[in-house]
Structure 1
Amino acid sequence: MAFLPVISANSRRRSVEGVAAACSASRRLAVRTRAVGENGGEEADQVEEEQSMQNLDAIPTVSYPGPVAPKDFEPPEPKTFQPYPDMLVDTLLGSIGSVARAGTGFVVSGYSASIQDGKLVEESKTLPTARPELPLELYEFESCPFCRKVREALNILDLDFYVYPCPKDGQRFRPQLVEMGGKSMFPYLVDPNTTFAGYESDDIIKYLFETYADGTVPLALNLGAVTTVSSGLATLARMAKGSKRAPKVVYPERPLIYWGYEPSPFCKVVRERLCEYEIPYLCKTTSRGSRKRLEMQDNLGLFQVPYLEDPNTGLALFESKYILKYLDDVYGPNAENAVDELPADVALVKS
């Protein structure tokens, strides 16, 4: 499978400088070619060919190969509400956190359910039809209780967002956050649709509900220390998984696409692994009442989460157990091309 080149900001800058130099040289060449051409066309062609080779040499190349798709990969058959025996403990521990948070994020704001033509119809009666043009951007790590509050708010508001995982010892997005915001503190939200960018979970939540709803913050997100403590219990139940970077990882060029919702224990274990491997992803929130549930149903013939799409390998799959294995095989410490330090030529391409 072919991969597009991965180019860092520094490499891009060098590339731009190299191309600019090449263009400048080409302009000089054009003048020289015309001057020589008046005396003899053959000499002009030779000068142009030599200069073209020099221009090619001026453009830098990159080397990091990135993720490799598993051989003979077969996506598993999705099985609704059928936990695997070896995943039972993880599922139960993940459920404790959801209970501690009283299922916050399970439904969207203004949730309504009705029976129409013999079918259950779930929707929001209050969220605006228009959605942000661009996904929001969240710098966080999975086990942080303050980050969980913000993720819950984003789920309630049915907002899609890019997650840039910043686990302890993270090398990709933690330094980037310090460069952007001035300190390594989480969560940090950027809204490319407005001018908002900031720390502090309560400030972020207030901004989100004022901008994308009627301004009323749900009680479950507005209880101060009670909210923080209950979010912390969710972290303790999972023994802080999703808080530290794995010793070696494979860095993808493009963000993965993750479909899920915050309280689901099946989804939580996937987010933990994505964080530990520093894998950026677009979070497609699917709380009850989200229109994206119907979108998945229309596109795939069923609704089930978690669901993961990987544009780096062209693969997609359901089932948390097999998603975890896929992430281990492609991005984990024992995966092909795994490295212990961030290569200099790795960058992120969203489109």
Structure 2
Amino acid sequence: MIIPNNKLGFHLKSLQSTMTTLLRGGRGNMGTSKPIMPEKMLVLYEHEACPYSRRVREVMTRLNLDYESRPSPHKGHVYRDELKELAGKAQVPFLIDDNTGDKILDSQAIIDHLFAHYSKKGSTSDKFKAPSGDNATLINKSASVVSMMRGVKAVHPEKNQARGKPNEPLHLYGFEASPFCRLVREKLSELEVGYINHNVAREQIQDVGGFGVRLNMGEYHPIKGGKRDHIMNDVMPDKLQFPYLIDPNTETKMFESKDIIKYLDKTYG
């Protein structure tokens, strides 16, 4: 780890993570308020700094889909070994959709599949088509360079493998473009800890903001009947803040990326 794990290091990582968001031009921010959620959970083998995985996660946010992330960073074994067996090689992203019986290895093919089955339009939006849809272009790869110090390879592969998978997957609420959610995802990738990624995309202009401040000056109201409305009422009452982690293995529920990262290091590091 090149950047130290202290207060200054956290601020530097936050700045780098924000640069990734800026380089991506806001992709992974907005999404539909009423997603077409598959009956069976989608499974995605990925790692955080992979530009091709990022393209898929951005579409997951656009469609506001939940999925099980199985982090498969370089040098890792917890999920990467089974990835090799299932896909024939250790390449990410790799999607398993038990709703359709599909197993897909190519990022553009995954994106086309997601739009075909889980979008109201039923076809891939021009913004997400390759090559104009940014099939790991220079800008996307530059965004990955910013994250190269984190989330690329397993930190302690032998210890991670000895620990194995948690009895139950963790639950992370957030959205792709959030710099602070990204820091938590990077840590989960380093530790090879599987989790359910609950996308809670911004659904309207009133959702836009940062550091606890939104563009609307009055009382905040999510779109009635939308996904954020459900999350606000049923998951984190009276407070809509991301990232939000739930670990059913230890009955832990917590906000704040810095605190979550410390918890993950202590519990799974």
TM-score range, shorter chain: 0.7 to 0.9
Determine if contact 2:108/2:130 at 8 Å carries over to the other structure: no
Q: Distance in 1 between matches of 2:125 and 2:176?
A: 16
Kindly provide the amino acid, as one letter, of the partner of residue 303 in structure 1.
L
1:219 offset after TM fit, Å?
3.8
Match runs of 1:231-242 below 5 Å: 231-242=140-151
Select which of 64, 67, 86 maps to 1:161.
67
Aligned to 2:122: 215
Kindly provide the amino acid, as one letter, of the partner of residue 259 in structure 1.
Y
Q: Distance in 1 between matches of 2:117 and 2:38?
A: 10
Q: Distance in 2 between matches of 1:277 and 1:270?
A: 11
- After superposition, the C-alpha distances for 1:6-55 in whole angstroms (9 at most, x for unaligned) are xxxxxxxxxxxxxxxxxxxxxxxxxxxxxxxxxxxxxxxxxxxxxxxxxx
Name the CA shift for 1:220/1:89 in 2 (closer, same or farther; >3 Å). farther
Q: Distance in 2 between matches of 1:320 and 1:182?
A: 35
Unaligned runs of 5+ in 2: 1-6, 204-222
Q: Distance in 2 between matches of 1:169 and 1:254?
A: 23
Select which of 85, 91, 99 maps to 1:193.
99
Name the CA shift for 1:314/1:98 in 2 (closer, same or farther; >3 Å). same
Aligned to 1:304: 241
Determine if contact 1:220/1:227 at 8 Å carries over to the other structure: no
Does residue 96 (structure 1) correspond to residue 19 (structure 2)? The answer is: yes
Aligned to 1:253: 167
- After superposition, the C-alpha distances for 1:85-107 in whole angstroms (9 at most, x for unaligned) are 76322222111111111111211
The SS at the match of 2:136 is helix
Match runs of 1:61-80 below 5 Å: none
Q: Distance in 2 between matches of 1:220 and 1:268?
A: 22
Q: Distance in 1 between matches of 2:228 and 2:258?
A: 21
Kindly provide the amino acid, as one letter, of the partner of residue 302 in structure 1.
K
Does residue 228 (structure 1) correspond to residue 136 (structure 2)? The answer is: yes
Determine if contact 1:296/1:302 at 8 Å carries over to the other structure: no
TM-score by length of structure 2 reads 0.81
Aligned to 1:112: none
Kindly provide the amino acid, as one letter, of the partner of residue 229 in structure 2.
L
Select which of 225, 232, 244 maps to 2:153.
244
1:184 offset after TM fit, Å?
1.2
- After superposition, the C-alpha distances for 1:184-237 in whole angstroms (9 at most, x for unaligned) are 111000111111111000011011101111134234422427441222121111
Select which of 48, 52, 63 maps to 1:142.
48
Q: Distance in 2 between matches of 1:182 and 1:86?
A: 38
Q: Distance in 2 between matches of 1:237 and 1:105?
A: 17
Does residue 315 (structure 1) correspond to residue 219 (structure 2)? The answer is: no
1:141 offset after TM fit, Å?
0.7
The SS at the match of 1:228 is coil
Select which of 181, 200, 209 maps to 1:267.
181
Between 1:236-245 and 1:225-234, the stretch displaced more is 225-234
Match runs of 1:22-61 below 5 Å: none
Aligned to 2:86: 180
Between 1:134-143 and 1:222-231, the stretch displaced more is 222-231
Determine if contact 1:169/1:244 at 8 Å carries over to the other structure: yes
The SS at the match of 2:193 is coil
Determine if contact 2:108/2:135 at 8 Å carries over to the other structure: no
Kindly provide the amino acid, as one letter, of the partner of residue 88 in structure 1.
H
**Percentage of matched positions with identical amino acids:** 36
1:276 offset after TM fit, Å?
0.5
Match runs of 1:268-347 below 5 Å: 268-289=182-203, 291-299=226-234, 300=236, 301-332=238-269
Determine if contact 1:108/1:155 at 8 Å carries over to the other structure: yes
- After superposition, the C-alpha distances for 1:62-107 in whole angstroms (9 at most, x for unaligned) are xxxxxxxxxxxxxxxxxxxxxx876322222111111111111211
Kindly provide the amino acid, as one letter, of the partner of residue 199 in structure 2.
T
Q: Which has the larger radius of gyration?
A: 1
Aligned to 2:57: 151
The SS at the match of 1:162 is strand
C-alpha root-mean-square deviation of aligned residues, in Å?
Answer: 1.8
TM-score by length of structure 1 reads 0.63
- After superposition, the C-alpha distances for 1:314-341 in whole angstroms (9 at most, x for unaligned) are 1110000000000011011xxxxxxxxx
Aligned residue pairs total 232
